[in-house]
Amino acid sequence: MIVRTTLLKTVLAVLLVTQSAPVFVNASQDPASLAPFVPTPYQVVDRMLELAQITENDVVYDLGCGDGRIVIAAAELYGARGVGIDYDPERIAEARANAQRRGVGDLVTFIEQDAMQADVSDATVVMLYLLSSSNIKLRPMLTKQLKPGSRIVSHAFRMGDWQPEVTQEFQDARGGTRTIHLWRTDGKERP
């Protein structure tokens, strides 16, 4: 059983890295899991922040924040406030320690919570690096809660039939192709 779970997590991590996860893939045998922990490379983090045109007036959420690198970078580079949400207590402890180390503990907050239960109503930007199926699960609550004009940026994965406003493709430091997408909410709820 342990071997099967480990194997499944490895396969899913590879899918995240290769960006080829089909929409029907379950994140793991844990029904709450939206994706395994695979951090976004810093070069891609920078591109996501640029695509969202982050400023110090933004409140940046990362649903499934891992080690907190996206909201920490938004705070460090742009002075934005940030909230990272992850259901894994180890990730939250790591993210809080990283924020203290980088001197942005006053700008960022990390919450141990299921992202499906999150309140993102004060976000101006939501960052995602999950799976297509997970983005689709989050889509109703994102489009219901976010104020019109909020930006959603996803590393690699799309949101079903909701077409992104911008898609950028570029080579990462290892020569792999990375894709990031931007959507802007318009007040229309998308189930």
Ligand X SMILES: C[S@@+](CC[C@H](N)C(=O)[O-])C[C@H]1O[C@@H](n2cnc3c(N)ncnc32)[C@H](O)[C@@H]1O
Please report how close the Cβ of residue 131 comes to ligand X at its closest, in angstroms: 8
User: What is the spatial distance between Cα 24 and Cα 163, in angstroms, rounded to a whole number?
Assistant: 19
Looking at beta carbons, which residue is closest to ligand X?
64
The residue among 90 and 165 lying less far from ligand X, judged by its C-beta, is 90
Alpha-carbon radius of gyration of the chain: 16
Q: Which residues bind ligand X (CB under 6 A)?
A: 16, 32-35, 37-40, 62, 64-66, 69-70, 85-88, 91, 114-116, 129-130, 155
Please report how close the Cβ of residue 187 comes to ligand X at its closest, in angstroms: 26
- 124 and 151 in contact (C-beta within 8 Å)? yes
- 35 and 129 in contact (C-beta within 8 Å)? yes
The residue among 9 and 187 lying less far from ligand X, judged by its C-beta, is 9
User: What is the spatial distance between Cα 94 and Cα 23, in angstroms, rounded to a whole number?
Assistant: 29
Please report how close the Cβ of residue 26 comes to ligand X at its closest, in angstroms: 11
Please report how close the Cβ of residue 34 comes to ligand X at its closest, in angstroms: 4
Helices 42-52 + 69-78 axis angle, to 10: 60
Residue 182 tokens, joined: 């931007």
The residue among 10 and 148 lying less far from ligand X, judged by its C-beta, is 10
